[in-house]
Amino acid sequence: MAKVTGLEGVVAGETEIGLVDGEKGHLVYRGYWAKELAVSKSYEEVAYLLWNGRLPDAEELALLKAQMAEERVIPEYLCRMLDLFPASVPLMLVLQSAVAALGDKENTTWPPTLKQAVRLTAVLPAIIVYRARSLQGLAPLDSLPELGHAANYLYLLTGKLPEEAHVKALSAYLILCMEHGMNASTFAGRVVLSTESDMCAAVCGAIGAMKGPLHGGAPYEVISMLEDIGTVERAEPWLRNALDNGTKLMGFGHRIYKTKDPRAEALQIATLEMIGKDASFDLALHVEATAIALLEEYKPGRRLFTNVEFYAAAILKALQLSPEIFTPTFTAGRIVGWTAHILEQAANNRIFRPQSTYIGPMPESEVVS
């Protein structure tokens, strides 16, 4: 019998939240194309959609924005806890611990609630930035309630009101991070929640999966490639040399998508206003076009297109986000999908209890009763 590992292809449940169809290049959020939502809606609008199953009207959107602005505040006890972590503790581990501690005070009820989901979504970026600024020796900033979710995140990181083009690009990126089917972290969160544990415990489980390099690894290798290439003139010779030596071009091809990654398509549209305004972003676009042409030349018919990691790298570098907050930023986007799945799991809960095939040795003799 062949070994069964990874649960690949195994259906673990039903969901109304999202659809990933890699063969067709489809990513759907609650009946809407994710790539269209990313370029036409705000982060708060898409969050409302994933949580409630429909887009909000003007009054509902205003209410959600007000709730999220109010829930950005980190409690004092949690600030003290964050200050005690040694600088050597990775940010994702700090984030996981902070969510666990937050649950001890706020989110330990069963079943989980939408209010808890809003709270976690709103406060996560504030926790990330509090820790990041602390490591840089900078004082924390107070959120600006008039700013939307993505704009406030950039403001907390830089202390400056962000440019609209940067807000649009980051918002699109966060929206496209929100949901991606029954991925490892979402499944981990649903498994924890299925035991009738609380929302924060489930999110801690999801963060634990996200911080693994096989799942939530940020696009460091893409940025390293772009920095190594350095200039437009070096792009083609560098890429040809890599392909001649059998080196994989980072940011191209995807395990799931066998056609254009719809998330990359959306980010391409959302970042149009950044073209010509940032040299690193312009270099990334040139590298993309050159790489696509060379991949077709070297690997005809392989359908190797730009994936979301490539555009994520281009955006995060252009926004001058430090590498240690790449995966936490991905997490700040995915929290909406996690909490939507947690709420869906709770609504029709059954504990996950799969079977395994024992392949170890058996005792030499039968047990005598």
**180, 309, 341, 344: which one is catalytic?**
309
Q: Is 149 a catalytic residue?
A: no
- Alpha-helical (H) ranges within the chain are 34-40, 43-52, 58-70, 76-84, 91-105, 114-135, 149-158, 164-177, 184-194, 199-210, 220-229, 232-244, 262-270, 279-298, 308-318, 326-347
Name the burial class of residue 298, with classes exposed (0-12), middle (13-18) and buried (19+) by CB atoms within 10 angstroms of its CB: middle
**254, 265, 288, 341: which one is catalytic?**
254
Name the burial class of residue 347, with classes exposed (0-12), middle (13-18) and buried (19+) by CB atoms within 10 angstroms of its CB: exposed
E-assigned strand segments in 26-154: 26-29, 32-33
Q: Is 309 a catalytic residue?
A: yes
Name the burial class of residue 15, with classes exposed (0-12), middle (13-18) and buried (19+) by CB atoms within 10 angstroms of its CB: middle
Residues in Cβ contact with 142 at an 8 Å cutoff, skipping those fewer than 6 apart:
none
Q: What are the catalytic residues?
A: 254, 309
